Amino acid sequence: MDRRSFIKKAGLGAGGVAAGSVLAAPAIAQGTKEMVIVSTWPRDFPGLGVPAQRLAARIAELTEGRLNVQYFAAGERVGAFDSFDEVASGNAQAYIGADYYWKGKHPGWAAFTAVPFGLTYTEMDAWIKYGGGQELWDELAGEFGLKNLAMGNTGVQMGGWFNKEIETADDLKGLKMRIPGQGGDVMAKLGASPVSLPGGQIYENLVSGAIDATEWVGPFNDYFMKFYEAAKYYYYPGMHEPGAMLALGMNKAFWDGLDKIDQQIIVAACAEENSNTMAETNANNGAYLKRLVDEHGVELREFSDEIYDSFGEAAQEVLEEAMDHSPLSKKIFESVINARQEIGSYMAISDIAYSNKRNRYLGIPG
Q: Identify which of 154, 311, 308 has the alpha carbon closest to the alpha carbon of residue 245.
A: 154
Cβ distance 263 to 329 under 8 Å?
no
Phi, psi torsion values for 262, nearest 5 degrees: -75, -30
SS (H, E, C) 280-335: HHHHHHHHHHHHHHHHHCCEEEECCHHHHHHHHHHHHHHHHHHHCCCHHHHHHHHH
Instruction: Extract long-range pairs of 202-211: CB within 8 Å, 24+ residues apart.
Output: 202/178, 202/227, 203/3, 203/227, 205/178, 206/161, 206/178, 206/230, 206/231, 210/176, 211/176, 211/177, 211/178
Is 178 annotated to bind ligand? yes
Residue 148's DSSP bridge partners are: 249
Cβ distance 7 to 40 under 8 Å?
no
Is 241 annotated to bind ligand? yes
Cβ burial of 122 (10 Å; 0-12, 13-18, 19+) is middle
d(C-alpha 318, C-alpha 290), whole Å: 35
Is 320 annotated to bind ligand? no
Q: Identify which of 20, 129, 118 has the alpha carbon closest to the alpha carbon of residue 316.
A: 118
d(C-alpha 78, C-alpha 83), whole Å: 7
Residue 150's DSSP bridge partners are: 247
- What sign results for the dihedral spanned by CA atoms 330, 333, 336, 340? negative
User: Strand pairing of 233-236 and 160-162?
Assistant: antiparallel
d(C-alpha 330, C-alpha 322), whole Å: 7
Is 216 annotated to bind ligand? yes
Which residue type, as a one-letter code, is found at position 132?
A: G
Is 215 annotated to bind ligand? yes
Binding-site residue numbers for Na(+) are 216
Binding-site residue numbers are 157, 178, 215-216, 241
Binding-site residue numbers for substrate are 157, 178, 215, 241
